[in-house]
Amino acid sequence: MRIGIDASRAISPHPTGTETYSRRLIQALLNIDTRHSYRLYLRTPLSPNQNDELVPQHSRVDARLRAIPFPRLWTHLRLSWEMLRFPPDLLFVPAHVLPLVHPPLSLVTIHDLGYLHFPDAHPPWQRRQLDLTTRWNARAAAHLLADSEATRADLIRHYGAPAARITVTYPGYDESLAPVRDPATIAAVKARYGIRDDYFLYLGTLQPRKNLARLVDAFAQLPHVPTLVIAGKRGWLYDDLFNQVGRLGLKERVIFTGYIPEQDKAPLLSGALAFVFPSLYEGFGLPVLEAQACGCPVICSATSSLPEVAGKGAMLVDPSDAEALSAAMAHLVADPAGREKLVQRGFANLPRFSWQQCAQTVLAVIDRLAPPEAA
């Protein structure tokens, strides 16, 4: 069967969660499949190095890149035109929206519906766009993939998607991540970002749904912990966060690093007292697994998909309660044995997640959708 994939979100110099999902799942599919052929649709041509990054050299399937540049409305105009002229047997959209013109067999991943639960955490235009694209995906796709049971329940409740048309497949994580044991390596990365003392770490995009204002409030109640490191690129509606740090007199104790390159992620996580992820809503919560892989104790929200993902390897707190969050942080500071217990539980949780398992589930869905003569 000829499978087309919208790979436009798979290559980015500063990938976020959905872009990482798209790239790693495509790589895993091409690694394990031996029967189907693939066409990967891109907005722009890739360099030879990017080709190797997206299509593994040892892949045993026919996988070809199809660059189809277009200035605006690439999905609904240019990709639709491609589907009209040269339709694959099945189109898979792992990180965006199904084009207006698409083959009857279509598969789309829905990552989260946080904009419905916390609409004020998104600009109005973004909220409208997310609602329209998710509504269209839920109605038009032959089948939907959800990152978690929480997202699957949201699709059924809010968009009336039939349960039989939704399959949960957990994303994987970067299995090359591991605890950094060398103190000099950790010290060098800390120095790069101006971190001089013990620190709590948040890693992710700066935007209201991540609940960073409440994290700063919780940290302000911990005078004996020198530093809070907030790492990640700026998303939207973040100006109040910087103003809040100034109002609370925390400019010397709260460090904003900006985007963190992949090579710095493991040392930062390995050196932290704990990874704190008080997000109001997550469709999956990949940073929790990354922290667990690096041997970093985790504090995260007891809402949405996060308990499902963290398993027993995290302290779960009410994200609306700054005092409870502060108490959890203080508890881990005072309890080294408790931190180590969380680290070991985190390691035990990780085998539930891999890109190979994710790709195997996706292939099983594709085979169920395929007509007998194409399977």
Residue 251: Cβ-neighbour burial (10 angstroms; 0-12, 13-18, 19+): exposed
Q: Which of 319, 323, 118 is nearest to 237 (CA)?
A: 118
pLDDT, tens digit, 9 for 90 and up, residues 40-96: 999 998 877 777 778 877 778 899 999 999 999 999 999 999 999 999 999 999 998
pLDDT digits 0-9 by tens, 188-198: 999 999 999 99
Mean pLDDT over 312-326 rounds to 97
Provide the pLDDT for residue 32.
Answer: 93
Please give the domain boundaries of the chain with CATH numbers for all domains.
2-172+354-369 (3.40.50.2000), 183-351 (3.40.50.2000)
Three-class secondary structure assignment of the chain:
CEEEEECCCCCCCCCCHHHHHHHHHHHHHHHHCCCCEEEEEECCCCCHHHHHHHCCCCCCCCEEEEECCCCCCHHHHHHHHHHHHCCCCEEEECCCCCCCCCCCCEEEEECCCHHHHCHHHCCHHHHHHHHHHHHHHHHHCCEEEECCHHHHHHHHHHHCCCHHHEEECCCCCCCCCCCCCCHHHHHHHHHHCCCCCCEEEEECCECHHHCHHHHHHHHHCCCCCCEEEEECCECCCCHHHHHHHHHCCCCCCEEEEECCCHHHHHHHHHHCCEEEECCCCCCCCHHHHHHHHCCCCEEEECCCCHHHHHCCCCEEECCCCHHHHHHHHHHHHHCHHHHHHHHHHHHHHHHHCCHHHHHHHHHHHHHHHCCCCCC
Q: Is the Cβ–Cβ distance between 101 and 81 less than 8 Å?
A: yes
- The string of pLDDT tens digits covering residues 253-273 is 999 999 999 999 999 999 999
b/e string for 99-125 if b means 16 or more Cβ within 10 A?
A: bebbeebbbbbbbbbbbbeeeebbeee
What's the pLDDT band for 15 if we cut at 50, 70, 90? confident
pLDDT digits (tens, 9 = 90+) for 225-253: 789 999 988 877 778 898 999 999 999 99
In terms of Cα–Cα distance, which of 370, 332, 290, 298 is closest to 107? 370
Q: What is the mean pLDDT of residues 96-115?
A: 95
Rounded Cα distance, 82 and 68, in Å: 8
pLDDT of res. 73: 94
Sorting pLDDT into bands at 50, 70 and 90, what band is 375?
A: low
Angstrom distance (rounded) from CA 56 to CA 26:
10
Over 70: is that where the pLDDT of 28 sits? Answer: yes
Model confidence band, residue 16 (pLDDT cutoffs 50, 70, 90): confident
From CA 18, how far away is CA 88, in angstroms rounded? Answer: 23
Give the pLDDT score at 195: 95
Answer yes or no: is pLDDT of 161 > 90: yes
The pTM score is 0.91
Average pLDDT, the chain: 93
Average pLDDT over residues 94-100: 95
Nearest-10 Cα torsion for 256, 188, 266, 343: -100
In this prediction, residue 11 carries a pLDDT of 86
CA distance 303 to 281: 7
User: Residue 373 — pLDDT band, cuts 50, 70, 90?
Assistant: low
Torsion of CA 145, 151, 152, 156, to 10 degrees: -120
Report CA torsion sign: 341, 346, 347, 351.
Answer: positive
